[in-house]
Amino acid sequence: MNPTIELLKSHRSIRKFKDQPLPEGALEEFIRAGQSAATSNQVQAYSIIRVTKPENREQLAELAGGQPWIKACSEFLVFCADMKRATEAAERAGADVVRGMTEQLLVASIDTALMAQNVVTAAESQDLGICYIGGLRNNPEQVSELLKLPDHVFPVFGLCIGYPDHNPEVKPRLPVETILKQDYYDDSQDEAQVAAFDDTMHQYYLARTGGKKDSTWSQELKPLFTSKLRPHMKEFLEKRGFGVK
Residue list 1-20, contact with a second copy (CB under 8 A):
1-5, 7-11, 13
Residue 136 sits in the site that holds a second copy (CB under 8 A)? no
Residues of this chain, 59-78, that bind a second copy according to CB under 8 A: none
Q: Interacting stretch for a second copy, rule CB under 8 A, among 58-66, 80-88, 161-169, 206-214?
A: 80-88
Residue ranges in 104-123 that form contacts with a second copy under rule CB under 8 A: 104, 106-107, 109-110, 113-114, 116-118, 120-122
For a second copy, the closer of residues 20 and 181 by Cβ is 181
Helix (H) or strand (E) holding 72: helix 69-72
Cβ pair 115, 80 in contact under 8 A: no
Q: Would you give the binding string for a second copy spanning residues 170-209, x where CB under 8 A is met?
A: xx-xx-x-xxxxxxxxxx--xx--x---x-----------
Q: Which stretch binds a second copy (CB under 8 A): 16-24, 161-169, 206-214, 217-225?
A: 217-225
**Radius of gyration of the chain from its Cα atoms, rounded to whole angstroms:** 20
Pick the stretch among 61-69, 89-97, 161-169, 206-214 that binds a second copy (CB under 8 A). Answer: 89-97
Instruction: DSSP letter for 147, please.
Output: T
245 binds a second copy (CB under 8 A): yes
Q: Cα separation of 208 and 144, whole Å?
A: 36
162 forms beta bridges with 129
Q: Are 148 and 67 in contact (CB under 8 A)?
A: no
With the CA atoms of 242, 119, 33 and 152 taken in that order, what torsion angle do they form, in degrees rounded to the nearest 10?
Answer: 10
Pairing verdict, β 46-51 and 129-133: unpaired
